[in-house]
Structure 1
Amino acid sequence: MRKWVSMIVLGICLLFPNFAAAQGQITIRRLDISLWPEYDRADMLVIYHALVNAPSFPVQMDFRIPATATLHTIAIGETLETVTDQGLEYTTRSEGDWFVLTANVAGPAIQLEYYDPQLIKEGSTRTFSYEWTGDYAVEDMTVIFQVPFNATQFTSTLPLQDDGVHLDKMQYYFSKVGAVPAGESFSFQLSYEKNTNALSASRLEVQPVAPVDENTPGRVSLNNTLPYFIGGLGVVMILGGFIYYWQAGRFPSKRPRRRSHSRDESETGDTEHYCPQCGTRAKAGDRFCRTCGARLRHQEG
Protein backbone atom coordinates (compact mmCIF):
# COMPACT_ATOMS: atom_id res chain seq x y z
CA MET A 1 0.00 0.00 0.00
CA ARG A 2 2.78 2.42 0.92
CA LYS A 3 4.43 1.60 -2.39
CA TRP A 4 1.34 2.70 -4.32
CA VAL A 5 1.03 5.95 -2.31
CA SER A 6 4.68 6.76 -2.95
CA MET A 7 4.23 6.12 -6.65
CA ILE A 8 1.17 8.41 -6.80
CA VAL A 9 2.99 11.25 -5.02
CA LEU A 10 6.00 10.78 -7.27
CA GLY A 11 3.75 10.85 -10.33
CA ILE A 12 2.14 14.16 -9.22
CA CYS A 13 5.55 15.71 -8.70
CA LEU A 14 6.67 14.53 -12.14
CA LEU A 15 3.53 15.83 -13.83
CA PHE A 16 3.56 19.21 -12.03
CA PRO A 17 7.19 19.90 -11.11
CA ASN A 18 6.94 23.67 -11.37
CA PHE A 19 3.81 23.85 -9.22
CA ALA A 20 5.29 21.69 -6.48
CA ALA A 21 8.51 23.70 -6.46
CA ALA A 22 6.67 27.02 -6.42
CA GLN A 23 4.48 26.01 -3.48
CA GLY A 24 7.55 25.01 -1.52
CA GLN A 25 9.37 28.28 -2.26
CA ILE A 26 6.52 30.68 -1.43
CA THR A 27 6.90 32.40 1.93
CA ILE A 28 5.25 35.37 3.61
CA ARG A 29 7.99 37.73 4.67
CA ARG A 30 5.60 40.02 6.55
CA LEU A 31 2.04 39.52 7.79
CA ASP A 32 -0.05 42.05 9.74
CA ILE A 33 -3.29 40.64 11.17
CA SER A 34 -5.70 43.40 12.21
CA LEU A 35 -8.72 42.60 14.40
CA TRP A 36 -11.47 45.23 14.54
CA PRO A 37 -14.36 44.03 16.73
CA GLU A 38 -17.79 45.64 16.24
CA TYR A 39 -16.45 48.11 13.69
CA ASP A 40 -19.15 48.34 10.99
CA ARG A 41 -20.85 45.03 11.79
CA ALA A 42 -21.59 43.20 15.01
CA ASP A 43 -18.90 40.65 14.02
CA MET A 44 -15.11 40.62 14.09
CA LEU A 45 -13.53 42.25 11.05
CA VAL A 46 -10.25 40.46 10.26
CA ILE A 47 -7.80 42.15 7.87
CA TYR A 48 -4.62 40.57 6.47
CA HIS A 49 -1.83 42.70 4.98
CA ALA A 50 0.83 40.40 3.54
CA LEU A 51 4.03 40.74 1.54
CA VAL A 52 4.97 37.53 -0.29
CA ASN A 53 8.26 36.07 -1.49
CA ALA A 54 7.93 33.89 -4.61
CA PRO A 55 10.25 32.80 -7.45
CA SER A 56 8.06 34.67 -9.92
CA PHE A 57 4.60 36.16 -10.38
CA PRO A 58 1.83 35.36 -11.03
CA VAL A 59 1.60 32.40 -8.67
CA GLN A 60 -1.31 30.49 -7.12
CA MET A 61 -1.78 30.73 -3.35
CA ASP A 62 -4.29 29.27 -0.86
CA PHE A 63 -5.83 31.30 1.96
CA ARG A 64 -7.86 29.76 4.78
CA ILE A 65 -10.64 31.52 6.66
CA PRO A 66 -13.24 30.02 9.04
CA ALA A 67 -16.10 28.23 7.27
CA THR A 68 -18.61 30.45 9.11
CA ALA A 69 -16.88 33.66 7.99
CA THR A 70 -17.98 35.97 5.18
CA LEU A 71 -15.33 37.02 2.67
CA HIS A 72 -15.35 40.78 2.21
CA THR A 73 -12.53 41.41 -0.25
CA ILE A 74 -9.20 40.20 -1.58
CA ALA A 75 -6.88 42.53 -3.47
CA ILE A 76 -3.44 42.09 -5.06
CA GLY A 77 -0.80 44.58 -6.16
CA GLU A 78 2.84 45.57 -6.30
CA THR A 79 2.60 47.43 -2.97
CA LEU A 80 0.10 47.49 -0.12
CA GLU A 81 -0.83 51.04 -1.16
CA THR A 82 -1.72 50.00 -4.74
CA VAL A 83 -3.59 46.70 -4.25
CA THR A 84 -6.77 46.19 -6.30
CA ASP A 85 -9.42 43.54 -6.76
CA GLN A 86 -9.92 44.41 -10.43
CA GLY A 87 -9.41 41.41 -12.73
CA LEU A 88 -8.54 39.09 -9.84
CA GLU A 89 -9.34 35.42 -10.46
CA TYR A 90 -9.92 32.99 -7.58
CA THR A 91 -11.81 29.82 -6.67
CA THR A 92 -13.23 28.60 -3.36
CA ARG A 93 -13.81 25.28 -1.67
CA SER A 94 -14.74 23.97 1.78
CA GLU A 95 -12.42 21.83 3.87
CA GLY A 96 -14.07 20.91 7.18
CA ASP A 97 -14.04 23.96 9.46
CA TRP A 98 -12.25 26.03 6.84
CA PHE A 99 -13.08 27.87 3.68
CA VAL A 100 -10.14 27.76 1.25
CA LEU A 101 -9.69 30.53 -1.29
CA THR A 102 -7.24 29.89 -4.14
CA ALA A 103 -6.15 33.06 -5.91
CA ASN A 104 -3.93 33.86 -8.85
CA VAL A 105 -1.51 36.27 -7.18
CA ALA A 106 0.04 38.69 -9.69
CA GLY A 107 2.11 40.74 -7.23
CA PRO A 108 3.78 40.49 -3.83
CA ALA A 109 1.26 42.61 -1.88
CA ILE A 110 -1.99 41.04 -0.64
CA GLN A 111 -4.92 42.44 1.34
CA LEU A 112 -7.66 40.04 2.49
CA GLU A 113 -10.67 40.93 4.65
CA TYR A 114 -13.44 38.83 6.15
CA TYR A 115 -16.09 39.03 8.89
CA ASP A 116 -16.03 36.35 11.59
CA PRO A 117 -19.37 35.95 13.44
CA GLN A 118 -17.73 34.05 16.30
CA LEU A 119 -17.48 37.16 18.48
CA ILE A 120 -19.30 35.91 21.56
CA LYS A 121 -21.46 38.34 23.58
CA GLU A 122 -22.58 37.50 27.10
CA GLY A 123 -24.13 40.56 28.67
CA SER A 124 -21.49 43.28 28.49
CA THR A 125 -18.62 40.80 28.04
CA ARG A 126 -17.18 40.12 24.59
CA THR A 127 -14.78 37.24 23.84
CA PHE A 128 -13.14 36.04 20.63
CA SER A 129 -10.76 33.22 19.69
CA TYR A 130 -8.47 33.45 16.67
CA GLU A 131 -6.55 30.66 14.95
CA TRP A 132 -3.99 30.82 12.13
CA THR A 133 -3.36 27.65 10.09
CA GLY A 134 -1.31 29.02 7.24
CA ASP A 135 0.05 26.87 4.46
CA TYR A 136 3.12 29.09 4.17
CA ALA A 137 5.94 30.04 6.48
CA VAL A 138 5.65 33.53 7.97
CA GLU A 139 8.90 35.34 8.67
CA ASP A 140 7.45 38.26 10.65
CA MET A 141 3.89 38.29 12.05
CA THR A 142 2.27 41.18 13.95
CA VAL A 143 -1.23 41.25 15.42
CA ILE A 144 -2.96 44.65 15.66
CA PHE A 145 -6.04 45.29 17.82
CA GLN A 146 -8.54 48.12 17.44
CA VAL A 147 -10.44 48.82 20.68
CA PRO A 148 -14.16 49.55 20.09
CA PHE A 149 -15.67 52.82 21.28
CA ASN A 150 -16.88 52.67 24.89
CA ALA A 151 -15.00 49.39 25.46
CA THR A 152 -13.11 48.82 28.70
CA GLN A 153 -10.86 46.15 30.20
CA PHE A 154 -9.45 45.12 26.81
CA THR A 155 -7.18 42.09 27.34
CA SER A 156 -5.58 39.30 25.30
CA THR A 157 -3.56 36.16 25.87
CA LEU A 158 -0.94 37.86 23.71
CA PRO A 159 1.30 40.49 25.33
CA LEU A 160 -0.16 43.86 24.32
CA GLN A 161 1.80 47.00 23.54
CA ASP A 162 0.07 50.36 23.50
CA ASP A 163 0.01 51.91 20.01
CA GLY A 164 -1.86 55.02 21.13
CA VAL A 165 -4.86 56.80 19.63
CA HIS A 166 -4.70 57.08 15.83
CA LEU A 167 -6.14 59.81 13.60
CA ASP A 168 -9.50 58.01 13.58
CA LYS A 169 -9.63 58.63 17.37
CA MET A 170 -9.52 54.88 18.03
CA GLN A 171 -7.25 53.21 20.57
CA TYR A 172 -4.89 50.55 19.20
CA TYR A 173 -2.68 47.82 20.64
CA PHE A 174 -0.26 45.48 18.91
CA SER A 175 1.70 42.31 19.64
CA LYS A 176 4.84 41.10 17.86
CA VAL A 177 4.56 37.37 17.17
CA GLY A 178 7.58 36.88 14.93
CA ALA A 179 8.18 33.80 12.78
CA VAL A 180 5.56 31.06 12.35
CA PRO A 181 6.61 27.90 10.44
CA ALA A 182 4.53 26.58 7.54
CA GLY A 183 1.68 24.30 8.60
CA GLU A 184 1.98 25.26 12.27
CA SER A 185 -1.16 26.60 13.94
CA PHE A 186 -1.13 29.75 16.03
CA SER A 187 -4.00 30.91 18.25
CA PHE A 188 -4.92 33.42 20.96
CA GLN A 189 -7.96 34.94 22.69
CA LEU A 190 -9.15 38.45 23.49
CA SER A 191 -11.91 39.92 25.65
CA TYR A 192 -13.34 43.29 26.64
CA GLU A 193 -16.35 44.92 28.30
CA LYS A 194 -18.90 47.00 26.38
CA ASN A 195 -22.36 48.07 27.58
CA THR A 196 -23.85 49.09 24.22
CA ASN A 197 -24.24 47.54 20.77
CA ALA A 198 -23.19 50.75 19.00
CA LEU A 199 -20.71 50.16 16.18
CA SER A 200 -17.43 52.04 16.07
CA ALA A 201 -17.97 53.23 12.48
CA SER A 202 -21.19 54.99 13.46
CA ARG A 203 -19.35 56.95 16.14
CA LEU A 204 -16.49 58.16 14.01
CA GLU A 205 -16.66 61.93 13.79
CA VAL A 206 -15.93 63.91 10.64
CA GLN A 207 -12.65 65.71 11.17
CA PRO A 208 -13.31 69.47 11.41
CA VAL A 209 -11.67 71.79 8.95
CA ALA A 210 -8.77 73.65 10.49
CA PRO A 211 -9.77 77.23 11.43
CA VAL A 212 -8.67 79.94 9.05
CA ASP A 213 -6.33 82.43 10.69
CA GLU A 214 -3.47 84.75 9.79
CA ASN A 215 -1.11 81.79 9.39
CA THR A 216 -3.30 79.76 7.00
CA PRO A 217 -1.31 79.02 3.80
CA GLY A 218 -2.51 81.02 0.82
CA ARG A 219 -4.53 83.46 2.91
CA VAL A 220 -3.89 87.20 2.43
CA SER A 221 -4.23 89.17 5.66
CA LEU A 222 -6.12 92.48 5.49
CA ASN A 223 -3.99 93.79 8.34
CA ASN A 224 -0.91 93.34 6.18
CA THR A 225 -2.30 94.73 2.91
CA LEU A 226 -4.48 97.64 4.14
CA PRO A 227 -1.59 100.11 4.72
CA TYR A 228 -0.25 99.44 1.22
CA PHE A 229 -3.73 99.90 -0.28
CA ILE A 230 -4.30 103.24 1.48
CA GLY A 231 -0.81 104.44 0.55
CA GLY A 232 -1.33 103.51 -3.10
CA LEU A 233 -4.71 105.26 -3.19
CA GLY A 234 -3.14 108.43 -1.75
CA VAL A 235 -0.41 108.43 -4.40
CA VAL A 236 -3.01 108.05 -7.16
CA MET A 237 -5.05 110.98 -5.80
CA ILE A 238 -1.98 113.23 -5.56
CA LEU A 239 -0.91 112.41 -9.11
CA GLY A 240 -4.46 112.98 -10.36
CA GLY A 241 -4.63 116.40 -8.70
CA PHE A 242 -1.23 117.40 -10.05
CA ILE A 243 -2.19 116.42 -13.60
CA TYR A 244 -5.49 118.31 -13.32
CA TYR A 245 -3.89 121.57 -12.22
CA TRP A 246 -1.10 121.20 -14.74
CA GLN A 247 -3.60 120.76 -17.56
CA ALA A 248 -5.65 123.71 -16.28
CA GLY A 249 -2.57 125.97 -16.34
CA ARG A 250 -1.69 125.03 -19.91
CA PHE A 251 -5.17 125.56 -21.35
CA PRO A 252 -6.88 128.72 -19.92
CA SER A 253 -10.62 129.03 -20.24
CA LYS A 254 -11.80 130.52 -23.58
CA ARG A 255 -15.46 130.78 -22.77
CA PRO A 256 -16.98 134.09 -24.21
CA ARG A 257 -18.02 136.66 -21.67
CA ARG A 258 -21.66 137.58 -21.79
CA ARG A 259 -22.40 141.31 -21.87
CA SER A 260 -25.06 142.37 -19.42
CA HIS A 261 -27.49 145.09 -20.30
CA SER A 262 -29.27 146.90 -17.54
CA ARG A 263 -32.73 148.22 -17.89
CA ASP A 264 -31.39 151.67 -17.15
CA GLU A 265 -29.02 151.47 -20.13
CA SER A 266 -31.78 150.34 -22.44
CA GLU A 267 -34.03 152.99 -21.14
CA THR A 268 -31.47 155.74 -21.52
CA GLY A 269 -30.76 154.55 -25.03
CA ASP A 270 -34.41 155.23 -26.00
CA THR A 271 -36.08 158.69 -26.50
CA GLU A 272 -37.27 160.06 -23.16
CA HIS A 273 -41.00 160.85 -22.84
CA TYR A 274 -42.76 163.11 -20.28
CA CYS A 275 -46.38 163.45 -19.25
CA PRO A 276 -47.98 166.49 -21.00
CA GLN A 277 -50.14 167.20 -17.92
CA CYS A 278 -47.81 166.84 -14.89
CA GLY A 279 -44.37 166.52 -16.54
CA THR A 280 -43.47 163.19 -14.94
CA ARG A 281 -40.92 161.18 -16.97
CA ALA A 282 -42.49 158.09 -18.48
CA LYS A 283 -40.80 154.73 -18.81
CA ALA A 284 -40.49 152.76 -21.97
CA GLY A 285 -43.73 151.04 -22.84
CA ASP A 286 -45.96 153.29 -20.67
CA ARG A 287 -49.20 154.36 -22.35
CA PHE A 288 -50.51 156.46 -19.46
CA CYS A 289 -48.78 158.62 -16.87
CA ARG A 290 -47.97 156.78 -13.68
CA THR A 291 -48.71 159.95 -11.64
CA CYS A 292 -51.81 161.67 -13.09
CA GLY A 293 -53.07 159.01 -15.47
CA ALA A 294 -53.05 161.27 -18.53
CA ARG A 295 -52.60 159.62 -21.94
CA LEU A 296 -49.02 159.96 -23.16
CA ARG A 297 -48.50 161.64 -26.50
CA HIS A 298 -46.10 159.11 -28.09
CA GLN A 299 -48.93 156.56 -28.04
CA GLU A 300 -51.25 158.83 -29.94
CA GLY A 301 -51.59 159.08 -33.59
Structure 2
Amino acid sequence: MRREVFLALLLGSALGLAQQIPAVIERLEISLWPEYDDPRLLVIYRGELAEDPKNPLAFALPNTAQVHAVAYMGPAGTLLTAEWQLLPSENGQIVLFTPKSRRFQLEYYDDVLGTSPERAFVFRFVSDRYEIRDLEIEVQQPLRAQGLQGGPALEPRGADTRGFSYFGRRVGAVAPGTLVEQRVSYRKTDALPSLRPAAQLSLVWIGVGAGLGLIALGIAGFLWFRRRRAVSPANVSAQFCARCGYRFRADEQFCPQCGQRRAM
Protein backbone atom coordinates (compact mmCIF):
# COMPACT_ATOMS: atom_id res chain seq x y z
CA MET A 1 0.00 0.00 0.00
CA ARG A 2 2.79 2.42 0.93
CA ARG A 3 4.60 1.60 -2.32
CA GLU A 4 1.47 2.33 -4.37
CA VAL A 5 0.96 5.65 -2.59
CA PHE A 6 4.61 6.58 -3.13
CA LEU A 7 4.44 5.76 -6.84
CA ALA A 8 1.23 7.76 -7.21
CA LEU A 9 2.83 10.78 -5.53
CA LEU A 10 5.97 10.43 -7.65
CA LEU A 11 3.97 10.16 -10.86
CA GLY A 12 1.76 13.09 -9.91
CA SER A 13 4.76 15.27 -9.09
CA ALA A 14 6.57 14.41 -12.34
CA LEU A 15 3.51 14.92 -14.52
CA GLY A 16 2.69 18.14 -12.70
CA LEU A 17 6.12 19.45 -13.65
CA ALA A 18 5.63 18.33 -17.25
CA GLN A 19 2.30 20.19 -17.41
CA GLN A 20 3.45 23.50 -15.89
CA ILE A 21 4.07 25.01 -19.32
CA PRO A 22 2.29 22.94 -21.99
CA ALA A 23 4.68 22.28 -24.86
CA VAL A 24 3.65 22.57 -28.49
CA ILE A 25 5.12 19.99 -30.85
CA GLU A 26 5.70 21.64 -34.21
CA ARG A 27 6.21 18.38 -36.06
CA LEU A 28 6.15 14.72 -35.06
CA GLU A 29 6.91 11.72 -37.25
CA ILE A 30 6.05 8.29 -35.85
CA SER A 31 7.81 5.41 -37.60
CA LEU A 32 6.47 1.86 -37.21
CA TRP A 33 9.09 -0.74 -38.14
CA PRO A 34 7.80 -4.28 -37.46
CA GLU A 35 10.43 -7.03 -37.18
CA TYR A 36 13.28 -4.65 -38.01
CA ASP A 37 16.15 -6.06 -35.92
CA ASP A 38 13.94 -7.75 -33.33
CA PRO A 39 10.77 -9.89 -33.59
CA ARG A 40 8.81 -7.05 -31.97
CA LEU A 41 7.54 -3.75 -33.35
CA LEU A 42 10.06 -0.89 -33.23
CA VAL A 43 8.37 2.49 -32.70
CA ILE A 44 10.34 5.70 -33.30
CA TYR A 45 9.18 9.23 -32.44
CA ARG A 46 11.10 12.02 -34.22
CA GLY A 47 9.83 15.35 -32.96
CA GLU A 48 10.56 19.06 -32.98
CA LEU A 49 9.20 21.45 -30.35
CA ALA A 50 7.88 24.89 -31.27
CA GLU A 51 10.00 26.47 -28.50
CA ASP A 52 13.03 25.54 -26.42
CA PRO A 53 12.04 22.92 -23.80
CA LYS A 54 11.46 24.22 -20.28
CA ASN A 55 10.07 21.10 -18.57
CA PRO A 56 10.14 17.32 -19.04
CA LEU A 57 8.17 15.73 -21.85
CA ALA A 58 5.85 12.84 -21.00
CA PHE A 59 4.53 10.20 -23.40
CA ALA A 60 2.20 7.33 -22.54
CA LEU A 61 3.40 3.84 -23.53
CA PRO A 62 1.66 0.45 -23.33
CA ASN A 63 2.61 -2.08 -20.65
CA THR A 64 4.24 -4.24 -23.31
CA ALA A 65 6.66 -1.48 -24.37
CA GLN A 66 10.40 -1.51 -23.65
CA VAL A 67 12.24 1.80 -24.08
CA HIS A 68 15.34 1.39 -26.22
CA ALA A 69 16.71 4.93 -26.69
CA VAL A 70 15.96 8.58 -25.93
CA ALA A 71 17.99 11.33 -27.58
CA TYR A 72 18.06 15.01 -28.51
CA MET A 73 19.85 16.99 -31.21
CA GLY A 74 23.11 18.43 -29.90
CA PRO A 75 24.71 21.76 -30.88
CA ALA A 76 26.98 20.02 -33.42
CA GLY A 77 23.97 18.55 -35.23
CA THR A 78 24.36 15.04 -33.80
CA LEU A 79 21.97 13.05 -31.61
CA LEU A 80 22.97 12.74 -27.96
CA THR A 81 21.53 10.55 -25.22
CA ALA A 82 18.90 12.12 -22.96
CA GLU A 83 18.23 10.95 -19.41
CA TRP A 84 14.80 9.40 -18.98
CA GLN A 85 12.50 7.81 -16.41
CA LEU A 86 9.85 5.14 -16.84
CA LEU A 87 6.94 5.34 -14.41
CA PRO A 88 3.86 3.12 -14.04
CA SER A 89 0.48 4.61 -14.87
CA GLU A 90 -3.12 3.47 -14.56
CA ASN A 91 -3.26 2.22 -18.16
CA GLY A 92 0.38 1.38 -18.88
CA GLN A 93 3.61 3.34 -18.52
CA ILE A 94 4.82 6.91 -18.92
CA VAL A 95 8.28 7.84 -20.15
CA LEU A 96 9.63 11.19 -18.92
CA PHE A 97 12.64 12.99 -20.37
CA THR A 98 13.94 16.52 -20.79
CA PRO A 99 15.57 17.18 -24.17
CA LYS A 100 18.23 19.89 -24.20
CA SER A 101 17.13 21.17 -27.60
CA ARG A 102 13.93 21.38 -29.63
CA ARG A 103 14.54 18.19 -31.62
CA PHE A 104 14.16 14.86 -29.85
CA GLN A 105 13.92 11.15 -30.62
CA LEU A 106 12.30 8.33 -28.63
CA GLU A 107 12.49 4.63 -29.50
CA TYR A 108 10.79 1.65 -27.94
CA TYR A 109 9.92 -1.95 -28.78
CA ASP A 110 6.38 -3.28 -28.37
CA ASP A 111 5.52 -6.97 -28.25
CA VAL A 112 2.38 -6.91 -30.41
CA LEU A 113 3.27 -9.27 -33.27
CA GLY A 114 2.36 -12.93 -33.45
CA THR A 115 3.97 -15.74 -35.43
CA SER A 116 1.11 -16.45 -37.82
CA PRO A 117 2.00 -15.76 -41.48
CA GLU A 118 -0.86 -13.24 -41.54
CA ARG A 119 0.61 -10.53 -39.30
CA ALA A 120 -1.48 -7.63 -37.99
CA PHE A 121 -1.26 -5.00 -35.26
CA VAL A 122 -2.98 -1.79 -34.18
CA PHE A 123 -0.87 1.18 -33.10
CA ARG A 124 -2.58 3.70 -30.82
CA PHE A 125 -1.21 7.13 -29.92
CA VAL A 126 -2.70 9.78 -27.66
CA SER A 127 -0.97 13.07 -26.94
CA ASP A 128 -2.63 13.78 -23.61
CA ARG A 129 -0.67 16.94 -22.89
CA TYR A 130 0.56 18.47 -26.13
CA GLU A 131 -0.81 20.11 -29.22
CA ILE A 132 0.79 18.65 -32.35
CA ARG A 133 0.74 20.93 -35.36
CA ASP A 134 1.79 18.31 -37.90
CA LEU A 135 1.78 14.53 -37.36
CA GLU A 136 2.94 11.96 -39.90
CA ILE A 137 2.97 8.17 -39.66
CA GLU A 138 5.51 6.04 -41.52
CA VAL A 139 5.41 2.24 -41.81
CA GLN A 140 8.33 0.11 -42.96
CA GLN A 141 7.49 -3.22 -44.62
CA PRO A 142 9.78 -5.98 -43.28
CA LEU A 143 12.10 -7.76 -45.67
CA ARG A 144 10.58 -10.97 -47.05
CA ALA A 145 7.08 -9.61 -46.32
CA GLN A 146 4.33 -8.98 -48.85
CA GLY A 147 1.06 -7.15 -49.20
CA LEU A 148 1.38 -4.50 -46.50
CA GLN A 149 -1.90 -2.65 -46.00
CA GLY A 150 -3.06 -0.01 -43.56
CA GLY A 151 -6.24 1.37 -42.12
CA PRO A 152 -6.55 4.29 -42.58
CA ALA A 153 -4.95 3.76 -45.98
CA LEU A 154 -1.21 4.27 -46.39
CA GLU A 155 0.45 5.76 -49.47
CA PRO A 156 3.62 4.23 -50.99
CA ARG A 157 6.71 6.27 -50.09
CA GLY A 158 9.35 4.40 -52.09
CA ALA A 159 12.18 2.08 -51.07
CA ASP A 160 15.70 2.47 -49.72
CA THR A 161 18.96 0.88 -50.86
CA ARG A 162 18.54 -2.03 -48.44
CA GLY A 163 15.29 -3.23 -49.98
CA PHE A 164 12.86 -1.85 -47.39
CA SER A 165 9.60 -0.42 -48.76
CA TYR A 166 7.95 2.49 -46.96
CA PHE A 167 4.35 3.63 -46.64
CA GLY A 168 2.84 6.57 -44.82
CA ARG A 169 0.07 9.06 -44.26
CA ARG A 170 -0.12 12.64 -43.08
CA VAL A 171 -2.45 13.03 -40.10
CA GLY A 172 -1.93 16.79 -39.78
CA ALA A 173 -2.83 18.82 -36.70
CA VAL A 174 -3.76 16.85 -33.56
CA ALA A 175 -5.40 18.41 -30.50
CA PRO A 176 -4.45 17.24 -26.98
CA GLY A 177 -6.34 14.11 -25.95
CA THR A 178 -7.08 12.98 -29.52
CA LEU A 179 -6.71 9.25 -30.21
CA VAL A 180 -4.80 8.38 -33.39
CA GLU A 181 -4.96 4.77 -34.59
CA GLN A 182 -3.12 2.97 -37.35
CA ARG A 183 -3.90 -0.62 -38.31
CA VAL A 184 -1.24 -2.52 -40.26
CA SER A 185 -1.31 -5.99 -41.80
CA TYR A 186 1.06 -7.96 -44.04
CA ARG A 187 2.06 -11.52 -44.86
CA LYS A 188 5.39 -13.04 -43.81
CA THR A 189 6.12 -16.76 -43.58
CA ASP A 190 9.22 -16.69 -41.35
CA ALA A 191 9.70 -15.43 -37.79
CA LEU A 192 13.13 -13.86 -38.31
CA PRO A 193 13.65 -10.07 -38.13
CA SER A 194 14.74 -8.22 -41.24
CA LEU A 195 18.22 -7.58 -39.84
CA ARG A 196 19.64 -10.45 -37.84
CA PRO A 197 22.13 -10.09 -34.98
CA ALA A 198 25.63 -10.66 -36.29
CA ALA A 199 27.86 -13.52 -35.19
CA GLN A 200 31.48 -12.72 -34.51
CA LEU A 201 34.14 -15.40 -34.60
CA SER A 202 36.83 -14.94 -31.98
CA LEU A 203 40.04 -16.94 -32.37
CA VAL A 204 42.28 -17.55 -29.37
CA TRP A 205 45.70 -18.88 -30.24
CA ILE A 206 47.53 -20.97 -27.66
CA GLY A 207 51.28 -21.30 -28.12
CA VAL A 208 52.85 -24.61 -27.25
CA GLY A 209 56.64 -24.84 -27.09
CA ALA A 210 57.95 -27.96 -28.75
CA GLY A 211 61.33 -28.58 -30.31
CA LEU A 212 62.02 -26.11 -33.15
CA GLY A 213 59.40 -23.49 -32.31
CA LEU A 214 55.84 -22.69 -31.40
CA ILE A 215 52.92 -24.67 -32.71
CA ALA A 216 49.74 -22.65 -32.76
CA LEU A 217 46.56 -24.39 -31.76
CA GLY A 218 43.39 -22.49 -32.61
CA ILE A 219 40.35 -22.56 -30.44
CA ALA A 220 37.32 -20.96 -32.08
CA GLY A 221 34.57 -19.43 -29.97
CA PHE A 222 31.45 -17.84 -31.29
CA LEU A 223 30.45 -14.67 -29.48
CA TRP A 224 26.97 -13.44 -30.16
CA PHE A 225 26.24 -9.81 -29.66
CA ARG A 226 23.36 -7.49 -30.48
CA ARG A 227 23.81 -5.57 -33.68
CA ARG A 228 22.18 -2.58 -32.04
CA ARG A 229 24.30 -1.47 -29.09
CA ALA A 230 22.86 0.26 -26.05
CA VAL A 231 22.73 3.97 -26.77
CA SER A 232 25.42 6.08 -25.11
CA PRO A 233 26.68 9.61 -25.78
CA ALA A 234 29.74 8.14 -27.52
CA ASN A 235 27.94 6.00 -30.08
CA VAL A 236 24.50 7.53 -30.57
CA SER A 237 25.81 10.27 -32.88
CA ALA A 238 27.35 7.64 -35.15
CA GLN A 239 24.19 5.52 -35.03
CA PHE A 240 21.81 8.15 -36.42
CA CYS A 241 21.92 10.57 -39.34
CA ALA A 242 22.41 14.11 -37.98
CA ARG A 243 20.17 15.60 -40.68
CA CYS A 244 17.14 13.29 -40.91
CA GLY A 245 17.49 10.81 -38.01
CA TYR A 246 17.96 7.72 -40.23
CA ARG A 247 19.52 4.75 -38.39
CA PHE A 248 22.78 3.72 -40.06
CA ARG A 249 23.77 0.15 -40.78
CA ALA A 250 27.23 -0.88 -39.65
CA ASP A 251 28.71 -0.64 -43.18
CA GLU A 252 27.06 2.65 -44.25
CA GLN A 253 29.11 5.86 -44.38
CA PHE A 254 26.50 8.12 -45.99
CA CYS A 255 22.78 8.42 -45.29
CA PRO A 256 20.81 6.72 -48.12
CA GLN A 257 17.85 9.05 -47.49
CA CYS A 258 19.47 12.51 -47.47
CA GLY A 259 23.16 11.96 -48.33
CA GLN A 260 24.55 13.27 -45.02
CA ARG A 261 28.00 11.90 -44.14
CA ARG A 262 28.01 9.69 -41.05
CA ALA A 263 29.58 11.17 -37.91
CA MET A 264 32.51 9.08 -36.69
TM-score range, shorter chain: 0.5 to 0.7
Deviation track 1:70-127 (CA, whole Å, cap 9, x = no partner) reads 0001011258952210xx3332211123211121222101100000001233x31101
Distance 1:184 1:82, change over 3 A: same
Distance 1:182 1:203, change over 3 A: same
Whichever residue aligns with residue 38 of structure 2, its letter is R
Q: How does 1:166-205 map to 2 (within 5 A)?
A: 166-202=160-196
TM-score by structure 1 length? 0.57
Distance 1:49 1:158, change over 3 A: same
> Matched residues in 2 for 1:149 and 1:133: separation?
29
Larger CA deviation: 91-100 vs 169-178: 91-100
SS of the equivalent of 1:22 reads coil
> Matched residues in 2 for 1:193 and 1:181: separation?
34
Counterpart selection for 1:131 from 118, 124, 142: 124
Q: How does 1:130-279 map to 2 (within 5 A)?
A: 130-134=123-127, 135-202=129-196
Kept in 2, the 8 Å contact 1:148–1:170? The answer is yes
Whichever residue aligns with residue 64 of structure 1, its letter is A
Aligned residue in 1 for 2:113: 119
Q: How does 1:57-96 map to 2 (within 5 A)?
A: 57-78=53-74, 82-85=78-81, 88-96=82-90
SS of the equivalent of 1:144 reads strand
1:30 and 2:27 are equivalent in the alignment: yes
1:106 and 2:100 are equivalent in the alignment: yes
SS of the equivalent of 1:200 reads coil
Whichever residue aligns with residue 89 of structure 1, its letter is E
Kept in 2, the 8 Å contact 1:34–1:143? The answer is yes
More strand by share: 2
Aligned residue in 2 for 1:216: none
> Matched residues in 1 for 2:119 and 2:113: separation?
7
> Matched residues in 2 for 1:32 and 1:80: separation?
22
How far the C-alpha of 1:46 sits from its partner, in A, is 0.4
How far the C-alpha of 1:191 sits from its partner, in A, is 0.5
Aligned residue in 2 for 1:228: none
Distance 1:120 1:18, change over 3 A: closer
Kept in 2, the 8 Å contact 1:79–1:108? The answer is no
> Matched residues in 1 for 2:76 and 2:60: separation?
20
Identity %: 26
Aligned residue in 2 for 1:227: none
> Matched residues in 1 for 2:119 and 2:145: separation?
10
SS of the equivalent of 2:195 reads helix
Distance 1:192 1:20, change over 3 A: closer
> Matched residues in 2 for 1:97 and 1:80: separation?
38
SS of the equivalent of 2:98 reads strand
Structure 2 unaligned runs (5+)? 1-15, 199-248, 253-264
RMSD: 2.8
Kept in 1, the 8 Å contact 2:57–2:97? The answer is yes
Whichever residue aligns with residue 125 of structure 2, its letter is W
Structure 1 unaligned runs (5+)? 1-16, 209-301
Kept in 2, the 8 Å contact 1:77–1:110? The answer is yes
How far the C-alpha of 1:58 sits from its partner, in A, is 4.0
SS of the equivalent of 1:70 reads strand
Structure with higher Rg: it is 1
How far the C-alpha of 1:169 sits from its partner, in A, is 2.0
